Structure 1
Amino acid sequence: MNLILLAPEALESDRLARVTDPRRLRHLREVHRARPGDRLTLGIMEGGIGQGELLTLDDHEATFALDALDQPPPPALPVHLVLALPRPRMLARTLEHVTALGVKQITLLHTRRVEKSYWMSPELEPEKIHRHLELGLEQARDTRLPAVTLEKGFRPFLEDRLPGLLAGRRGLLAHPGMAAACPRGIETPTLLLVGPEGGFIPWEVEKLLEAGCEGIHLGPRILRVETAVTALLARLF
C-alpha cells in the first residue's frame, strides 16, 4: 500500500499530525478506505518514514498519532534525466513514473520536434508538476522530491549547461539506430538524454555526440517516450 505523504506543516507535534489537504483526504477515503484505528505508512516530505494510527477522518481533516518517522526513504538512482518535453498528457505520466523509480534530477528540454505549444501547457505550472511528483513519491514510498528544470532552448542548453552536467557523469544518448545497446546494471553517475516522439533530429544527435555523449539504443522497436524512459531506467540501474 502506498505512502501517506505529509507536509511538514501537518505536524502539530512529534506525535500528532493533522491533514486538511482535500486530495489526501480523498485518497484516504477512496484508495486506502481508511477507518479510525487503522495503522498506515506515513512519511514527511524531505524527511523520514514510519507508521501512524488514524485517529479521526471526516470530509475536512484527518488526524494521526505518530510513531517515530525515522526510517530513510529508498535510495535515489544516480542519474540526471534530460527529457525532450513530451506532450502534456504523456508528461504527467512520465513525471510520476520516473519519480517512482527514484530519479531526483529532471531537465525538460526543447528540441526541434517538440511542439512549441507544449510549453504553454498548464501541466508545466509549478503546482501541477509538484502534484505529479508527489504522486510518484507516494507510489514508491519515497519522501524526497526531484528537482525539475525547464530548458526552452536547445543551443543554450548544449553550449552552456551540458558541459557542466557531463562533468563527473557518463553521458548516454538514447536514440534509435545508435551503434551500442543500452548497458545494464551500471552504478556510475549518469546523464541520460531521451528525445521526443520522432526522436532527435540528426543535427541534434551529432552535436550531443560531439559534446561527449555515447549513443545507445533499446533494440529495433520504436517505443513511446514514457515506455522508453521506464525501460531505459530499469535496464541501466
Structure 2
Amino acid sequence: MNYLILDPSQKTNSGEFKIINPDRIIHILKVLQKKEGNKIKAGLLNESLGFFKIINISSREILGSYTPIIKPKRRSPGIHLIVSVQRPPTVEKILELAGVWGVQSLEFRLATLSRTEYLTSPVWKEENIKEKLILGMEQGGNVFLPKLELGFVPPGKKISFEKKGSISEIVTSSSRKFFYLDKKGKFIQESLSLEEKEYSILVGPEPGWTKKELEVFRKSNISGVRLSSSVLRSEQAVSFFLSQWENSLPRVRRTKS
C-alpha cells in the first residue's frame, strides 16, 4: 500500500474516517508501523490526494482525519478495457492493473472461446471486484474508481448464466472507437492517432479470437494492435498495452493526467 484509499462511506458524523478492514489495519500497524499522530499518504475516492492522520487506534478500528492536498485529473484520452472472460486468478490481476493505472472503465464479456465454467467463481461478486480494484488504486495512487460492467449474469444455484452481450455483439452495435489486441496487428505508434477522447480496447480469451470474430472486426473497421512478438498471457497483454500506451502519449498529456 502506497496510498490509503478512503471511501466516503467510511466518514463518521464528526468528519473523521474510520478504518475497520482487518487487512488494512494490520498493514498500517505491522508493515507501515504507524502510531497515533502519524500521517499516511491517502486519497479520497474519486476526489483528491492528501494525508490521513491517525487519531486513535484499537484492535478493531483506526480513526483518523483526512486533509486533501491536490485534486488530480483523470487520464486523457480515456481507456475503456473490454476483456473477454478469463480464469479467476487472471481476472484478479487485470482488476488490480486497471486500478493501478486508472482506466476509465472495465468490462468483462463473453467471447466465442470464453470458458463459461469460470462464471461460477466468486471473483465476479461486486464486493470482491471492488476490493481488487481498490488494492490496485492503493498501489498506484489512483483515486478514480473504474466503472465496471459485466456482460453476463453469473449463474445461481438453480439457474445457468445469462449473457447480456458478447464482444462481437457490442462492437457491431456501438459507435465507440475500438481496437483489438492481436499479434498480427500494428504497433501502437502506427495504429493510434490519439485524436479521440476515448478508446475501447478489446482483449481476447486464452485460446484467442476466432475467424468469425476477426471477420466481425474487419467489417467494423476495427484495427489490431500488436504489443510483442511473443505470445502473451492476458494479464501480460493488458500490462504491456497500458505501459506502451502511456509511453506513446505526448509528454504534455502525461504530465496533466
Asked if the contact 1:165–1:191 (Cα under 8 Å) also holds between the matched residues in 2, the reply is: no
Count of residues paired in the alignment: 232
**What's 2:66 paired with?**
66
Q: Which sections of structure 2, spanning at least 5 residues, go unmatched?
A: 153-162, 247-257
Asked if the contact 1:98–1:230 (Cα under 8 Å) also holds between the matched residues in 2, the reply is: no
Q: Give TM-score scaled by structure 1 length.
A: 0.87
Asked if the contact 2:111–2:168 (Cα under 8 Å) also holds between the matched residues in 1, the reply is: no
User: What letter is aligned with 1:158?
Assistant: S
**What's 2:41 paired with?**
41
**What's 1:158 paired with?**
168
Distance 1:73 1:22, change over 3 A: farther
Once residues 87 and 167 of structure 2 are traced to their aligned partners in structure 1, the CA distance between those partners, rounded to angstroms, is 20
The offset of 1:200, in angstroms, is 0.9
Distance 1:30 1:196, change over 3 A: farther
**What's 2:115 paired with?**
115
**What's 1:201 paired with?**
210
The offset of 1:218, in angstroms, is 1.9
Tell me the alpha carbon deviations over residues 180-205 of structure 1, each in whole angstroms, 9 at most, x when there is no partner.
22337864321111101121111111
Residues 183-222 of structure 1 mapped to structure 2, 5 A cutoff: 183=189, 187=194, 188=196, 189-222=198-231
The offset of 1:10, in angstroms, is 2.3
The offset of 1:143, in angstroms, is 1.9
The offset of 1:99, in angstroms, is 1.7
Once residues 240 and 19 of structure 2 are traced to their aligned partners in structure 1, the CA distance between those partners, rounded to angstroms, is 36
Identity %: 22
Once residues 126 and 165 of structure 2 are traced to their aligned partners in structure 1, the CA distance between those partners, rounded to angstroms, is 24
Asked if the contact 2:151–2:165 (Cα under 8 Å) also holds between the matched residues in 1, the reply is: no
Residues 21-100 of structure 1 mapped to structure 2, 5 A cutoff: 21-67=21-67, 69-73=68-72, 75-77=74-76, 78-100=78-100
Query: Which has the larger displacement, 39-48 or 9-18?
Result: 9-18
Once residues 82 and 14 of structure 1 are traced to their aligned partners in structure 2, the CA distance between those partners, rounded to angstroms, is 41
The offset of 1:108, in angstroms, is 0.6
Once residues 74 and 2 of structure 1 are traced to their aligned partners in structure 2, the CA distance between those partners, rounded to angstroms, is 19
User: What letter is aligned with 1:227?
Assistant: Q
User: What letter is aligned with 2:181?
Assistant: A
- What secondary structure, in the 3-state scheme, does the structure 2 residue paired with 1:52 have? strand
Asked if the contact 2:18–2:61 (Cα under 8 Å) also holds between the matched residues in 1, the reply is: yes
Q: Which sections of structure 1, spanning at least 5 residues, go unmatched?
A: none
User: What letter is aligned with 1:83?
Assistant: V
Once residues 19 and 166 of structure 2 are traced to their aligned partners in structure 1, the CA distance between those partners, rounded to angstroms, is 43
**What's 2:158 paired with?**
none
User: What letter is aligned with 1:213?
Assistant: I
Q: 2:241 aligns with which of 218, 232, 236?
A: 232
The offset of 1:35, in angstroms, is 1.5
User: What letter is aligned with 2:33?
Assistant: R
Once residues 46 and 218 of structure 1 are traced to their aligned partners in structure 2, the CA distance between those partners, rounded to angstroms, is 30
Asked if the contact 1:82–1:109 (Cα under 8 Å) also holds between the matched residues in 2, the reply is: yes
What is the Cα-based RMSD across aligned positions, in Å? Answer: 2.3
Asked if the contact 1:79–1:104 (Cα under 8 Å) also holds between the matched residues in 2, the reply is: yes
The offset of 1:14, in angstroms, is 7.5
